[in-house]
Structure formats: C-alpha cells, structure tokens
C-alpha cells in the first residue's frame, strides 16, 4: 500500500481560509475529485446487503429495499480531503446515521465503529464521531443519485472529519470496544482525522 494519490488539479501553493470556514492547509475546489484505492466495484442491488454486527443489541442485514425505504433527509456541508482539497456546500440526501443507530442499538461498550465497503475497504472512527446529527448514509448529491465513482448506491458522509472517514460503496458496520485500524489507517493515517487539528497521519 503506497501513499494516497496526489491530486493534479489542485495547486497546494495556494491556501484558502474564507473567514475560518476552511481548515488549515486546504484549498477549495469546485470540481469533485475521485479518489479511492483499487477500482470502482460493481454493485448489484439484488444481492447487496448492509450488515451491522459487533457490539449491537440488534444485529441486522438490510436488503436494498429495506435500507432504501428508511426515511431520507437532506444535509448541506463542506468536505475536506486529507490530500488538501475542500469542497463547500455539498447538498446530500440520505439516511441519517442516527436513524440506523436507533435500529441496531449499539451497546454502551461499543466505543469504535469500522465501516466496510464492497471490495473490502474499511475505515475506523469513534462512535462519538459517528453518532452525530449531520452524518448520513448518502444516496444523492446535488439532486442526483451518486455516480458509481463517488460511491453508488450509498456512501457515508461524516463532514466534521476528513473525507476518508466515509466509505464509498458502504455495505456494513462493525461496532467495537477497542479501536481497529482501517485500510488507510493501517498505513499511518490518523485514527480520528479531525481536519481542524490536521490529524492527517500518526
């Protein structure tokens, strides 16, 4: 596993602040770069399952029909990629993370969560950061379904952390008592990833 790909369309000589809205050493981009390890997975909705396991009272395996029938809500937020680009005012629609948490009921000892994606990619974060009103299982961006490259049919968005703390093509969650490094975290990326503290690496 090498370092994350370097972006070519962002000149990191320039920095943006916009009155404190943009975290340190980030550059605002209007484009939406595509970044992931490996290739875009093929997702078949008929066989897609969203599985929640580990330290929860109600482990679940949702079919696409069950998952996508959960109530959809809008959210608007900024995203910050560890490779120094930020994209402001993203309009998402999706299922609030809190809605799913209320169904699976994490146990009090569940302090960390590992998100899993089709193809096996993972990312970890504290449950405290996951259990927030703004966080979504996003299905749509700018009024359109997600493109395959951006995570169709569903991706996690945790806007107060770096953007890698949201799995594209998400298909599961595991709740844990002890933090377990995900894909990038195993090669040195931060276990939490707060862009305001520049928690890029550890």
Ligand X SMILES: Nc1nc2c(c(=O)[nH]1)N[C@H]1C(S)=C(S)[C@@H](COP(=O)(O)O)O[C@H]1N2
Q: How far is the CB of 155 from ligand X (least distance, A)?
A: 7
Q: Among 87, 64, 65, which residue's Cα sits nearest to residue 76?
A: 87
Q: How far is the CB of 107 from ligand X (least distance, A)?
A: 26
User: Would you count residue 167 as binding Mo ion (CB under 5 A)?
Assistant: no
User: Would you count residue 164 as binding Mo ion (CB under 5 A)?
Assistant: yes
Q: Which one of 36, 84, 190, 200 is in contact with ligand X (CB under 6 A)? A: 36
User: Would you count residue 81 as binding Mo ion (CB under 5 A)?
Assistant: yes
Q: Which is nearer to Mo ion, 34 or 177 (CB)?
A: 34
> Which one of the spans 34-42, 47-55, 104-112, 172-180 is the region binding ligand X (CB under 6 A)?
34-42
User: Would you count residue 148 as binding ligand X (CB under 6 A)?
Assistant: no
User: Considering CB distances under 5 to 8 angstroms, the limit depending on partner class, which of ligand X, Mo ion, none binds residue 190?
Assistant: none
> Which one of the spans 32-40, 57-65, 105-113, 192-200 is the region binding ligand X (CB under 6 A)?
32-40
- Judged by CB under 5 A, the chain residues 17 through 46 that form the site for Mo ion are 35
Beta carbons within 10 angstroms of residue 181's beta carbon: 16
Whether the Cβ atoms of residue 116 and residue 54 lie closer than 8 Å to each other: no
User: Would you count residue 163 as binding ligand X (CB under 6 A)?
Assistant: yes
User: Would you count residue 183 as binding Mo ion (CB under 5 A)?
Assistant: no
Cis check for the bond before 77: say yes or no (omega within 30 of 0). no
Segment 26-31 long-range contacts (CB within 8 Å, at least 24 positions apart): 26/80, 26/84, 26/85, 26/86, 26/195, 27/84, 27/85, 27/86, 28/85, 28/86, 28/87, 28/88, 29/85, 29/86, 29/87, 30/87, 31/87
> Which one of the spans 53-61, 69-77, 164-172, 192-200 is the region binding ligand X (CB under 6 A)?
164-172
Q: Which one of 48, 50, 67, 169 is in contact with ligand X (CB under 6 A)? A: 169
| Contact footprint for ligand X (CB under 6 A) | 4, 32-37, 81, 117, 121, 150, 163-164, 166-169
């Amino acid at each position: 596993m090498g370092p994350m790909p370097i972006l070519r369309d962002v000149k990191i000589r320039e920095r943006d602040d916009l009155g404190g809205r943009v975290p340190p050493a980030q550059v605002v981009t209007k484009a939406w770069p595509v970044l992931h390890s490996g290739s875009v997975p093929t997702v078949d909705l008929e066989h897609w399952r969203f599985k929640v396991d580990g330290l929860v009272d109600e482990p679940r395996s949702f079919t696409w029909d069950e998952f996508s029938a959960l109530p959809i809500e809008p959210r608007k937020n900024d995203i910050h990629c560890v490779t120094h680009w930020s994209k402001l005012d993203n309009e998402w629609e999706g299922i609030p993370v809190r809605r799913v948490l209320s169904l699976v009921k994490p146990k009090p000892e569940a302090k960390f969560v590992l998100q899993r994606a089709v193809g096996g990619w993972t990312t970890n974060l504290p449950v405290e950061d996951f259990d927030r009103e703004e966080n979504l299982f996003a299905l749509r961006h700018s009024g359109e379904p997600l493109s395959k490259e951006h995570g169709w049919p569903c991706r996690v968005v945790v806007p107060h952390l770096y953007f890698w703390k949201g799995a594209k093509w998400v298909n599961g969650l595991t709740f844990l008592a002890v933090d377990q490094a995900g894909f990038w975290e195993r090669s040195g990326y931060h276990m939490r990833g707060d862009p305001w503290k520049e928690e890029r690496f550890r």
